[in-house]
């Protein structure tokens, strides 16, 4: 098992869209694929007289060129241990944080990402990495890598982050080519990535380069989103302050996971991330890229139409088909909508929820609040037999997830258990077994994130979004809305 924030070489490279030359405004985009075991570095368009020399130097030994070898110290603080991997923008090393050692921190190990030679020579390199660090720091979520700081020393521009232990999803996808990893293994990954994306989208941030090489699965099974280096702000999003720098000016993208709009340079949209998520989900379920690793424009021109994965229900496939649509208006608007559609409630559950809403409107607000504070309005025995059976099945599945969590402390499985309990609660609102299970799971999340206020707040927000009951659960409410001075 790889011990790395970026395991192995990526099949797909983040590309820089060349700036049109004064003599030719029709500069083309050239998609390239890489060998898994020998990834060349991304290139930045340069003057013809320096291109050959620069590429030779970049391929020779980027670590030695920057004097980043085991034992090297950055900023008199971070001691390089080993190379973890290379990404589109930078090189990632394992390192020891001396300040943490001095403070007797039990885990002084970190990962440090340093801009590679090509990106370092780009005029916006410093700004790009600083923006990545800042954006990632605002995304305190269990499915987004935790970023600590951003700085530079001499020519080395770097960012420090949590050190992950597990495997790059790129390795997982590569090993499962032709077969997929199975529904049971794929669903938690798809859900976790979608949860992290949905959180970013609510914050007004679009990843813009989602692909297996920018995803990581930790040893406990938690999927993590990496590399917000070319993430974009949602146009006119109130959640993001205005910034004179736009990562779109880098013109970077990965063709096999890019929408036609991204390749054409159209303004970013959250549904661009949904398209990439759909591609990744399809690869996990089937073991192959739905469009034969072609970009959206080429795939549409070739008339490629993916077949339904055998492990998906018809409803799930319809949602995934929408995510894979070439036209932006057909795709789910953002990851939150994808989550609701793909993992959402059944028609029966929606009907029951609608009935509850009508009841609340007819009976009046105060009666409804009283009803919310009490037990079930309808005894369990009086529910339709089908509803009773569905409730029991959901609770059983949730309990299985809870037991698995107690054994392995896998937060992804705990998230799944909360979903089962929340759906059961929707079938029979105020059911005491369901409320106890939801409270128990929420308390476990709070305990697991104790001492990590940002991650705890993110978990509280995610749980509140999953369940109407948890949205009003006092311990979560106090964390979501901390007291202000």
d(CA 181, CA 178): 10
Q: Which of 330, 176, 208 is nearest to 277 (CA)?
A: 208
Is residue 209 flagged as an active site residue?
Answer: yes
Rounded distance between C-alpha atoms, residue 101 and residue 93, angstroms: 18
Q: How many Cα atoms occupy the beta-carbon half-sphere of 456 within 13 Å?
A: 18
Q: What is the DSSP string of 341-371?
A: HHS---HHHHHHHHHHHHHHHHH-HHHHHHH
Alpha carbon distance 39, 37 (integer Å): 6
The continuous run of DSSP H or E covering 213 comes out as none
Read off the DSSP letter of residue 404.
H
Give the integer Cα–Cα distance in Å for 220 and 124. 37
Whether the CA torsion 302, 303, 307, 313 is positive or negative: it is positive
CB within 8 Å of 52: residues ≥ 6 apart = none
Helical pair 183-202 and 335-342, crossing angle rounded to 10 deg:
140
Element holding 58 (H helix, E strand): helix 48-60
The catalytically annotated residue of 209, 227, 334, 416 is 209
Q: Are 101 and 127 in contact (CB under 8 A)?
A: no
Number of helices (H), then strands (E), belonging to the chain: the values are 20, 13
Tokens representing residue 313 in the block: 């229900």
The Cα–Cα gap between 353 and 197 comes to 27
Which residues does the annotation mark as catalytic?
209
């Amino acid at each position: 098992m790889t011990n790395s924030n970026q395991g192995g070489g990526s099949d797909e490279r983040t590309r820089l869209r060349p700036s049109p030359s004064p003599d030719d405004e029709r500069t083309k985009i050239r998609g390239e694929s890489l060998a898994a075991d020998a990834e060349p570095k991304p290139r930045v368009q340069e003057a013809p007289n320096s291109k050959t020399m620069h590429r030779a130097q970049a391929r020779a030994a980027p670590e030695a060129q920057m004097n980043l070898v085991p034992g090297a110290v950055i900023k008199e603080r971070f001691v390089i241990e080993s190379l973890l991997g290379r990404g589109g923008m930078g090189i990632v090393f394992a390192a020891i944080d001396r300040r943490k050692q001095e403070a007797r921190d039990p885990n002084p190990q970190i990962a440090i990402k340093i801009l590679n030679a090509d990106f370092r020579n780009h005029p916006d390199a410093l700004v790009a990495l600083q923006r990545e660090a800042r954006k990632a720091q605002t995304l305190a979520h269990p499915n987004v890598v935790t970023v600590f700081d951003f700085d530079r020393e001499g020519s080395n521009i770097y960012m420090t982050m949590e050190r992950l232990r597990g495997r790059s999803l790129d390795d997982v996808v590569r090993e499962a080519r032709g077969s997929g990893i199975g529904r049971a293994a794929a669903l938690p990954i798809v859900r976790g990535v979608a949860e992290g994306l949905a959180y970013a989208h609510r914050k007004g941030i679009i990843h813009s380069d989602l692909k297996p090489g920018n995803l990581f699965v930790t040893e406990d099974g938690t999927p993590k989103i990496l590399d917000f280096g070319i993430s974009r702000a949602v146009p006119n999003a109130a959640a993001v302050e205005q910034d004179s720098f736009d990562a779109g000016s880098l013109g970077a993208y990965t063709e096999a996971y890019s929408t036609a709009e991204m390749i054409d340079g159209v303004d970013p949209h959250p549904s661009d991330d949904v398209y990439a998520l759909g591609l990744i989900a399809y690869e996990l379920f089937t073991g192959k890229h739905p469009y034969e690793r072609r970009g959206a424009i080429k795939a549409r021109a070739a008339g490629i139409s993916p077949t339904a994965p055998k492990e998906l229900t018809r409803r799930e496939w319809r949602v995934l088909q929408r995510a894979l649509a070439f036209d932006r208006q057909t795709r789910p608007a953002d990851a939150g909508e994808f989550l609701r559609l793909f993992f959402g409630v059944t028609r029966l559950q929606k009907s029951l929820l609608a009935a509850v809403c009508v009841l609340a409107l007819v009976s009046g607000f105060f009666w409804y609040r009283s009803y919310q504070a009490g037990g079930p309005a309808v005894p369990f025995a009086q529910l339709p037999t089908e509803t009773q059976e569905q409730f029991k099945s959901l609770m059983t599945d949730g309990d299985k997830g809870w037991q698995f969590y107690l054994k392995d402390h896998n937060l992804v499985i705990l998230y799944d258990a909360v979903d089962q309990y929340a759906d059961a609660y929707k079938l029979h609102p105020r059911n005491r077994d369901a409320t106890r299970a939801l409270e128990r799971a929420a308390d476990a999340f709070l305990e697991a994130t104790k001492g990590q206020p940002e991650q705890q707040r993110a978990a509280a927000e995610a749980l509140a979004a999953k369940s109407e009951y948890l949205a009003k659960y006092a311990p979560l409410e106090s964390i979501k809305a901390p007291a202000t001075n």
